Structures are given as C-alpha cells and as structure tokens.
C-alpha cells in the first residue's frame, strides 16, 4: 500500500528494436492444425491394412471403404461443426431413422411421389434440429440432457409410429412409387469415375466437407461458430448472435441426418424403425478423432472427414483381414482415447505463450 504512485511511470511498450513480426515456424503451424493427429493415424491405419490384408489393396475395396466412411462422415460433419460451436447432439443417430421413416411412410401411405416424402421429411428434420437448439437456448441446460431427451423421444416415436402405421417395425418397400428412380439417382445412385464406381453418397459427402470447410474458415458464420464455442460470453459481448448460431448448428446436424436418412431409404427401398441407435456416438467419436474439442472452439471439417475415413477403413479392413468384426468397437474406444490425448496436447500448445 505504500507504493509511491507518482514515480510508478508506466513502461513504454515500444522496445528499441521496433515491431518485428515473424511467422511462427512451419512446424508450429502444422502442429497447431486440428486434423494433424487424425491425418497421421489415417496414414498408419491405411498402411497397416494395406500390408496385412491383400483384398484391401484393390480399387473395389477403396470404393467400399469410401462408402462406409461417407455413411459415418455425412452426419459426423454436422456433429463436428456443432461441437466446434460448443454443443453436442445425442439424437443425431435416431434422427437419421426418423427422417427415413417419415419420408417412406408419408409417400407410401398417401401414395404420393417419393419427392414429396423427401421434402416433407426435410421440414420435419429441420424442425427437430430447431427444437433441440431452441430448448438449449431457452433453458440453458447442457446439450447432453436436452439431446438425450430428444434421443429417447425419437427412439420411441420411430418404433411406435411405424408399428401403428404399418403394423410391423419396418416400412413397406417404396421402389414402385413415382419419383423413386430419380430420387434414388440423386441420393443413392452409382457414379462411375472411370477407374472406379462410387456411391452418390461419397460424392455428396465430399461436397459437404468442402462447403462446411469453406463456411468455417472463410465466412462470418464460421467465425461466429468458433467464437461461440470458444467463449460464448465474449462472443455475445461483441455482438455475435449466439442463440441464432447455436440453433443454426443444430439444424445443420438435422440436415445431415435428413440427407443420410434419405440415402439409406432410397438405397434399400425400406427402413427398419430400430436403426440408428448408437450411431450418434460414432459420429461424435469421428468428430473428436478429427480434432474437434469436446469443450468447443476448435476443430475442422476436414478433420471430421478424416475421422470418418479412419472408421470406414477399419470397419472394412477388419473384414478384409478376416478378423471378427466385433473388434471394431474396441478399436473405436482406443482411437477415442488416443484422440482425446492428442487434442489435449494440441490445445495446450496452442494456448501456450510463445
């Protein structure tokens, strides 16, 4: 308390050498990327299966791996953006089934064009996403609780409504309806690339990844997503519409879930009402392995894609290697733990003073 205030002159901020600005080293910048850990893991796993499983080396195998990755990656992408925004969604797995069921039952029971079901189920899906976001913003409860509730509600609705309408736990085949062929071509067609044929979902997945990556890094919306996840109060204080961003992110997940739902329905012409339970965790793990922080504010769209690719490779690789596919879940757990450790390290070094 006896500090002589008058003599405590503030030091000048400008040192004699002037403001010299240097780029951080290439190594530091590369290691600061969210997807770097996942990329390294993907390379290792690819080489591993390439060496031990001869059938894995074919182009057909790559096509299968990509397809498997796309069915995880499409929703994982929405989930990754949501996680960067600081929230997560446990209802995404069953929401996929809800969208497929709504579309199938609506078209079949009312004998409508398949496209009507496709559009109406989009509206339903987006409404579910908006409701998740709205409840979160209004109640300020953790997204874990809100979306856990939605998860159970949808799981019950999926089975209950399907049984009421069709009398069974699956929808009736819709492949004779008007518009089925054109819808199938868009959502689940085969696309020849010359050297290999891939499912339309693979192409859509890559398009979505590119768009999401662009939104995240090159638009104001992306800036707001990072800010809302990184420090919500700070973002709000500088005028970022936090509630809108969060609701938008939940609707983004819902859109992805709708897309995958339509793909599954049109690919198999029918859908089981109990499908999708447990997938929400796989999406979350893919996003986390791809470098998204559980606490928000950090992650990337490409990372989530690599995360999904790792799981696509592993589900198929295990089969090609002739092992018991049940080991997949074990692998999932190990990968998650490793990813969380890598992310922790990256986050710490990113916020360390230099």
Partner 1 sequence: MTDTIAEHASADLTAGTPLVAMSGVGKAYGAIRALEGVDLTVRAGEVTCVLGDNGAGKSTLIKIMSGLHPHSEGTLTVDGKEVRFGSPRESLDRGIATVYQDLAVVSLMEVWRNFFLGSELRKGRFPLAPLDIPRMREIADTELKKMGIHVKDINQPIGTLSGGQRQCVAIARAVYFGARVLILDEPTAALGVKQSGVVLKYTAAARDAGLGVVFITHNPHHAYMVGDHFIILKLGRRVLDRTRAEVSLEELTGEMAGGQELAELSHELQR
- The residue from 11, 16, 27, 167 that contacts partner 1 (CB under 8 A) is 11
Window 188 to 217, contacts with partner 1 (CB under 8 A): 215
Residues 6+ apart with CB under 8 A from 81: 212, 215, 216, 225, 249, 252, 253, 301
How far, CA to CA in Å, does 208 sit from each of 144, 202, 316? 25, 10, 23
Comparing CB distances to partner 1, the nearer of 187 and 226 is 226
Shorter beta-carbon distance to partner 1: residue 21 or 192: 21
Per the DSSP assignment, residues forming a β-bridge with 272 are 170
Structure tokens at 321: 């290697």
Nearer to partner 1, 79 or 227 (CB): 227
Q: How far apart are CA 314 and CA 258, in angstroms?
A: 25
Binding residue for partner 1 (CB under 8 A) from 13, 192, 194, 322?
13
227 scored as a contact of partner 1 (CB under 8 A):
yes
- Residue 314, token pair as written in the block: 């592993």
29: contact with partner 1 by CB under 8 A: yes
Question: Does residue 226 touch partner 1 according to CB under 8 A?
Answer: yes
Asked if 185 interacts with partner 1 (CB under 8 A), we say no
19 is a site residue for partner 1 (CB under 8 A)? yes
Cα angle 319, 331, 59 (rounded to 5 degrees) comes to 35
Contact flag: residue 116 with partner 1 (CB under 8 A): no
The yes or no reply on residue 9 touching partner 1 (CB under 8 A) is yes
Both structure tokens of 270: 């029918």
Of the two residues 2 and 176, which places its CB atom closer to partner 1 in the complex? 2
Task: Single out the segment in contact with partner 1 by CB under 8 A; choices: 19-27, 171-179, 185-193, 327-335.
Answer: 19-27
Decide: is 27 part of the binding site for partner 1 (CB under 8 A). no
Q: Could you tell me the end-to-end alpha-carbon distance of the chain, in angstroms, rounded to an integer?
A: 33
Backbone angles phi, psi at 170, to 5 degrees: -135, 160
275 versus 301: smaller Cβ distance to partner 1: 301
Q: Rule CB under 8 A: choose which of 58, 127, 234, 333 binds partner 1.
A: 234
Nearer residue to partner 1 within complex by CB, 5 or 164: 5
What angle separates helix 242-268 from helix 59-84, to the nearest 10 degrees? 150
Q: Which is nearer to partner 1, 140 or 352 (CB)?
A: 352
Query: Using CA atoms, how far apart are residues 112 and 104, in angstroms rounded to an integer?
Result: 10
Site for partner 1 (CB under 8 A): which residue of 163, 219, 329, 345?
A: 219
Q: Cβ(328)–Cβ(312) under 8 Å?
A: no
**HSE-up of 345 (CA within 13 Å, CB side)?**
11
**Per rule CB under 8 A, is residue 3 in the interface with partner 1?**
yes
Query: What is residue 112's three-state secondary structure?
Result: coil
Interacting residues with partner 1 (CB under 8 A): 1, 3, 5, 8-15, 19, 21-24, 29, 32, 215, 218-221, 223, 226-227, 230-231, 233-241, 297-298, 347, 350-354
């Amino acid at each position: 308390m006896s500090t002589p205030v008058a003599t405590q002159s503030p030091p000048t901020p400008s040192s004699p050498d002037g403001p010299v600005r240097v780029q951080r080293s290439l190594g530091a910048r590369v290691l600061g990327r969210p997807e770097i850990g996942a990329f390294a893991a993907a390379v290792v796993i690819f080489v591993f299966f390439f060496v031990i499983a001869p059938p894995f080396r074919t182009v057909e195998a790559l096509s299968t791996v990509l397809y498997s990755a796309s069915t995880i990656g499409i929703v994982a992408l929405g989930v990754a953006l949501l996680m960067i925004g600081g929230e997560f969604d446990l209802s995404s797995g069953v929401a996929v089934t809800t969208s497929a069921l709504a579309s199938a039952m609506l078209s079949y029971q009312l004998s409508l064009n398949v496209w009507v079901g496709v559009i109406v189920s989009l509206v339903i899906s987006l409404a579910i996403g908006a409701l998740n976001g709205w409840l979160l913003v209004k109640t300020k409860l953790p997204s874990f609780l809100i979306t856990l509730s939605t998860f159970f509600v949808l799981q019950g609705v999926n089975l209950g409504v399907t049984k009421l309408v069709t009398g069974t736990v699956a929808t009736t085949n819709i492949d004779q309806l008007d518009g089925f062929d054109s819808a199938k071509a868009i959502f689940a067609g085969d696309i020849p690339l010359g050297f290999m044929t891939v499912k339309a979902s693979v192409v859509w997945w890559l398009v979505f990844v590119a768009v999401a990556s662009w939104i995240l890094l090159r638009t104001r919306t992306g800036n707001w997503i990072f800010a809302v996840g990184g420090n919500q109060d700070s973002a709000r204080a500088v005028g970022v519409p936090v509630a809108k961003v969060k609701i938008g992110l939940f609707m983004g997940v819902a859109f992805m879930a709708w897309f995958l739902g339509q793909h599954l329905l049109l690919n198999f012409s029918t859908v089981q009402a109990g499908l999708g339970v447990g997938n929400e965790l796989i999406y979350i793990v893919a996003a986390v392995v791809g470098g998204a922080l559980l606490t928000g504010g950090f992650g990337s769209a490409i990372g989530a894609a690599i995360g999904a690719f790792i799981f696509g490779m592993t589900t198929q690789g295990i089969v090609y290697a002739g092992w018991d596919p049940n080991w997949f879940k074990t692998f999932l757990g190990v990968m998650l733990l490793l990813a969380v450790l890598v992310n922790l390290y990256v986050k710490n070094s990113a916020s360390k003073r230099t």
